[in-house]
């Protein structure tokens, strides 16, 4: 933990995360999930789950229910087929962002139909602004150029700038940074930021982090990110 003019910066190290390995699924849990429980890591503000999942070829999640949660999937590699009880059927690939509002209840399945290629993606759960919302689905694609050396808004409460709509006071950004590049994001007083690193290396408000690490930033006027090794990451700006 670091506390100074950069605010309070707390790293959730990649190798400290929970893990579930079912053969076809290798999942790393940033926060408590399933059979992994850690009272010290139950989420960050309204961000409840970040699972980094790798699904082997031919594997997948059979139909299962959810309710009262905003579920966002961000694909890093491979292709995942989605089916749900709302009648949606789609395939999500790198650059795709999928938002499913579970609301009053929805069932869905996710499968990797490739015989050889695994799927690597983030499964993200955000607490909704209220319970009992109507179930909903949305999917958008953001090119590499959209995210190159900038913070690209991919999810927000109002769906602005072509982002998916998340029913919570959150701004979700994605970025691909080249080595030596940097980005800055102003933080409104009272809000906190979580950075999740997918690939490469960064310095987040002066703290070095690597792939799989998560970083909580509180009490800082801004988020300063410098790339030390070509990187892909997500930024959550949360009330």
Q: What is the pLDDT of residues 1-60, one digit of tens each?
A: 554 568 999 999 999 999 999 999 999 999 999 999 999 999 999 999 999 999 999 999
185 has which bridge partners?
Answer: 223
CA distance 46 to 19: 22
Q: Which of 4-13, 56-65, 67-76, 193-202 has the lowest mean pLDDT?
A: 4-13
Instruction: Provide the residue count of the chain.
Output: 239
**Measuring CA to CA, which residue among 207, 165, 171, 204 is closest to residue 188?**
171
- Give yes or no for residue 148 having a pLDDT over 70: yes
According to the model, what pLDDT value does residue 4 have? 53
Determine contact, residues 9/204, Cβ cutoff 8 Å: yes
CA distance 30 to 15: 10
* Tally of domains within the chain: 1
125 has which bridge partners?
Answer: 49, 71
According to the model, what pLDDT value does residue 6 have? 84
- Give yes or no for residue 114 having a pLDDT over 60: yes
* pTM, rounded to two decimals: 0.96
Strand order through the sheet with 80-84: 60-66, 106-111, 80-84, 89-92
Q: What is the pLDDT of residues 117-131, one digit of tens each?
A: 999 999 999 999 999
CATH number at residue 194: 2.60.120.10
According to the model, what pLDDT value does residue 151 have? 98
According to the model, what pLDDT value does residue 91 have? 96
- Which range of residues forms the domain containing residue 123? 2-238
């Amino acid at each position: 933990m670091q506390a100074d003019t950069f605010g309070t910066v707390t790293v959730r190290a990649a190798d400290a995360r929970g893990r579930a390995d079912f053969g076809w699924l290798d999942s790393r849990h940033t926060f408590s999930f399933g059979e992994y429980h850690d009272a010290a890591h139950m989420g960050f503000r309204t961000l409840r789950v970040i699972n980094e999942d790798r699904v082997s070829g031919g594997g997948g999640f059979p139909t299962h229910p959810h309710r009262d949660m905003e579920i966002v999937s961000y694909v890093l590699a491979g292709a995942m087929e989605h089916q749900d009880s709302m009648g949606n059927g789609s395939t999500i690939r790198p650059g795709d962002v999928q938002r499913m509002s579970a609301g009053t209840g929805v069932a869905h399945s996710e499968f990797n139909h490739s015989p050889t290629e695994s799927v690597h993606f983030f499964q993200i759960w955000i607490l909704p602004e209220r319970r009992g919302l109507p179930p909903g689905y949305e999917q958008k694609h953001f090119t590499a150029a959209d995210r190159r050396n900038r913070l690209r808004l991919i999810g927000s409460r109002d769906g602005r700038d072509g982002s998916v709509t998340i029913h919570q006071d959150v701004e979700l950004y994605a970025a691909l940074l080249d080595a030596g590049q940097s980005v800055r994001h102003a933080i409104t007083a009272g809000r906190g930021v979580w950075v999740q690193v997918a690939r490469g290396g960064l310095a987040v408000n002066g703290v070095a982090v690597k792939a799989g690490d998560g970083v909580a930033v509180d009490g800082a006027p801004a988020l300063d990110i410098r790339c030390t090794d070509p990187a892909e990451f997500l930024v959550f700006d949360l009330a």
